[in-house]
A and B are shown apart, each in its own frame.
Chain A
């Protein structure tokens, strides 16, 4: 079956620094990557959608300069949280999609900004 690898699983960073989260589709080419944020005991909130080679489309209210998304290849997408602050602490999950494959989710990244 389709496998999506997301790294790191946990990261602690200091306020003001940047953190990069990687999402790789291991056995298929992902034409579209989705990035979600999940607060404790809540549902997934879509942050942005990215197609390979194109700029990401951000959902309303998501700061594109703060959450930089790169989808340079069909197997790799990255989310960089720039100048992180404690309020950015959350669980971030990626999802890779391709024709005939549906949606496959990464295992998530727990970001803690101190």
Chain B
């Protein structure tokens, strides 16, 4: 089984500051990793995903994440945040298969509320 720990439940930052949202995972098998963003009363939007290959993954809206197998981490970063980045962010993990899509369930972290203040 896999598990995900998001170390910060809330992260307040000022506009144009850099931000890092931390995610650690646990698994006995190879995994795929994902970051999703959720705005109030909406579903989840994929920011980025790591399936294989380069450990630095770039996503939408200027976000990037780095897969660190030795530290079992997949931290999300953005060099300069905007007010519109205020949302809930979820890290998720699933066991890997060959294709990038899976019948295996995603396991989510508890989420990190990013609040960007003017």
Name, among A44, A49, A99, A104, the residue most crowded by chain B CB atoms within 10 Å (CB to CB).
Answer: A44
Asked if B45 contacts A51 (CB within 8 A), the reply is: no
Asked if B105 contacts A34 (CB within 8 A), the reply is: yes
Known: A43-B108, A43-B111, A44-B108. A105 touches B100 (CB 8 A): no
Asked if B45 contacts A97 (CB within 8 A), the reply is: no
What does DSSP make chain B's interface, helix, strand, loop or mixed? loop
Residues on the A chain within 8 Å of B105, using CB: 34, 46, 49
With beta carbons under 8 angstroms apart, the residue of B42, B90, B99 that contacts A107 is B42
| CB-CB nearest in chain B for A97 | B101
| CB-CB nearest in chain B for A38 | B38
The range of chain A's interface size is: 20 to 34
Question: Interface size of B by Cβ–Cβ distance < 8 Å?
Answer: 22
Asked if B110 contacts A105 (CB within 8 A), the reply is: no
Query: Cα distance A79–B91 when bound, in Å?
Result: 25
7 shortest interchain CB distances as A-B pairs: A105-B43, A105-B44, A99-B99, A107-B43, A32-B103, A99-B101, A101-B101
Asked if B106 contacts A95 (CB within 8 A), the reply is: yes
Asked if B100 contacts A100 (CB within 8 A), the reply is: yes
Query: Cα distance A95–B103 when bound, in Å?
Result: 11
Distance in angstroms from B116 CB to nearest chain A CB is 18
Query: Cα distance A103–B104 when bound, in Å?
Result: 10
With beta carbons under 8 angstroms apart, the residue of B100, B106, B113 that contacts A34 is B106
Asked if A108 contacts B41 (CB within 8 A), the reply is: yes
Tell me the B36-58 residues at the A interface (CB within 8 Å): 36, 41-46, 49
Tell me the A78-114 residues at the B interface (CB within 8 Å): 91, 93, 95, 97-108, 110
Could you jot down 30 A-B contacts, CB within 8 Å? Answer: A4-B43, A32-B102, A41-B113, A42-B110, A43-B108, A44-B44, A44-B90, A49-B103, A51-B103, A91-B41, A93-B44, A95-B44, A95-B106, A97-B103, A99-B99, A99-B100, A99-B101, A100-B101, A101-B100, A101-B101, A102-B46, A102-B100, A102-B101, A103-B46, A103-B106, A104-B46, A105-B36, A107-B42, A108-B41, A108-B43
